[in-house]
Amino acid sequence: MTIKIITDGAADLPLSFINQYDIKVVPLNVSFGDQSFKTGIDIDNETFYRMMKESAELPKTSCPAPYDFLEAYKEVPEDKAIIVFSLSKALSGTYESAVVGMDMLLEEQPNRKIAVLNTKTGSCGQILLIEEAVKFINCGAGFDEVIANAQSSIDSVNTLILLETLENVVKGGRLSKTKAAIANALNIKIMLEVSKDGLIEVREKVRGDKKVLRRFIEQIGECGKDFEKKVLTMTHSNSEEKALGLLKEIKEKYNFKETILSEIGPLIGTYAGEGGIVISFKS
């Protein structure tokens, strides 16, 4: 490709996708106590979920440093343009680091063509935008055209989140133990969404496992239409069997043109907890 796509470790891209389209992923950082790891390099998903289950405290995460992005940019040949798809600016400092890294690159190589996009989403939302951009590039679209299309798509992406457990929300101090105990006793499940500003907000509270899955699927139809022309992406927190079952039901109800399934990595997994499901699709 004449354009190099770079993203961060929050994108949760399938390895096959990364290899097929030569996507560069700048890792984020996760730490358990005094042990620090770069996601996708020093720690794999299986190890992360095992350590998180064994830990009494929630792991800590941090965004890449600007220098990490600069090094990734400099690996790209100077005659190749760069487009960065960053985790939502409202959720992390990753976007700012990517921008500072870009400014550092342009000081050294002022003629470089590079853009950093705030996706206003994460995980499978980033996958959706990157997948569309790759197809656009392969059809011969130029740098400015790809950016314009991506910016338009960002505003039409829906990202819905279903939590299986409130354990990580409690550990992270975002919900009291008392409220979590009440929710668990009443079997209340929380559905979240990523707002148009890129923030995670509560969308709906539903009582009962079967009802919450039904509502989760129904919300797709409430948010979009013409699915036979669109792609749905789904990521899961160490719960592939559950994700495959849910994806099957979604495909039976909505005739999506294509679906992509991947596993949630350490960054999003820290907050979603095991059993979490995230889906993204355009309106």
Considering only 49-53, 107-111, 148-152, 203-207, which range has the smallest mean pLDDT? Answer: 203-207
Residue 271 confidence class, pLDDT cut points 50, 70, 90: confident
Mean pLDDT, rounded, for 163-178: 68
What pLDDT score was predicted for residue 180? 62
- Quote the percentage of the chain above a pLDDT of 90: 80
In the numeric block, the tokens 């949630």 are attached to 264
Residue 209 confidence class, pLDDT cut points 50, 70, 90: confident
Over 60: is that where the pLDDT of 175 sits?
Answer: no
58: DSSP letter: P
DSSP 77-129: -TTSEEEEEE--TTT-SHHHHHHHHHHHHHHH-TT--EEEEE-S--THHHHHH
Strand 60-62 relative to strand 81-86, pairing: unpaired
- Tens of pLDDT along 233-261? 999 999 999 999 999 999 999 999 999 99
Q: How far is CA 187 from the centre of its chain?
A: 27
Q: Which sign does the torsion angle of CA 210, 49, 90, 10 carry?
A: negative
Over 90: is that where the pLDDT of 183 sits?
Answer: no
Residue 189 confidence class, pLDDT cut points 50, 70, 90: confident
C-alpha span between 73 and 106 (Å, rounded): 10
28, 126 contact by CB (below 8 A): no
For the chain, give percent helix, strand, coil, nearest 5. Answer: 45, 25, 30
More confident residue, 170 or 6: 6
Q: Where in the chain is the domain with CATH 3.40.50.10440?
A: 3-30+64-154
Mean pLDDT, rounded, for 5-28: 96
What pLDDT score was predicted for residue 109? 97
Mean pLDDT, rounded, for 190-217: 89
Specify the CATH architecture of the domain 157-282.
Answer: 2-Layer Sandwich (3.30)
| Torsion angle, alpha carbons of 51, 238, 41, 170, to 10 | -50
Q: Give the pTM.
A: 0.94
Q: Where in the chain is the domain with CATH 3.30.1180.10?
A: 157-282
Average pLDDT along the chain: 92
Q: How far is CA 223 from the centre of its chain?
A: 19
Specify the CATH architecture of the domain 3-30+64-154.
Answer: 3-Layer(aba) Sandwich (3.40)
